[in-house]
Amino acid sequence: MIRVVLPAHLRNLARVEGEVALAVEGPVTQRTVLDALEARYPMLCGTVREHGTQKRRAFVRFFACEQDWSHESPDTLLPEAVATGAEPFLIVGAMAGG
């Protein structure tokens, strides 16, 4: 199972606590993980990726294994540690404020 960490606002929307676990068939990429997330929690459609274009929202970041994956192609394979569930895939609200 893929482990996904959501920011607090999205956990509230999805009515979950802690990490969510998702089954992803085939290659584990941003796109397949987010497809699985939105299929399981449809209220999150449009909150991480834009409706229609499926582009990452500007103030959302994707971290995994201490790397920023936000600017990678959505079809790039995520690290093996994410695919095996050893490490989580983090969806993060970009820093704001002073």
Partner 1 sequence: MSKVRLLVGTRKGAFILMSDGTRKSWEVNGPLFAGWELYHIKGSPADPMRLYASQTSSWFGQIIQRSDDGGKTWHQPGTAPGEPTTTPDGMPKGESNKFVYDTSAGTGRPLTTHQWYDGSQRPWEFKRVWHLEPSLEDPDTVYAGVEDAALFRSTDGGKSWAEMASLREVKGPLWQPGAGGMCLHTILLDRSKPGRMFIAISAAGAFGSDDGGKTWRAINRGLKSQYELPDPDADVGHCVHRIAMHHSRPNVLYMQKHWDVMRSDDGGDSWYEVSGNLPTDFGFPIDVHAHEPETIYVVPIKSDSEHFPPDGKLRVYRSRTGGNDWEALTDGLPQRDCYVNVLRDSMAVDSLDPCGIYFGTTGGQVYGSADGGDHWMPIVRDLPPILSVEVQTLS
Binding site for partner 1 (CB under 8 A): 7-10, 13, 15, 38-48, 50-52, 57-60, 93-94, 96
Nearest-angstrom CA–CA distance, 95 and 85: 26
Q: Which is nearer to partner 1, 21 or 81 (CB)?
A: 21
Nearest-angstrom CA–CA distance, 29 and 26: 9
Q: Which is nearer to partner 1, 9 or 84 (CB)?
A: 9
Residue 45 CB, nearest approach to partner 1 (Å): 4
Nearest-angstrom CA–CA distance, 75 and 71: 11
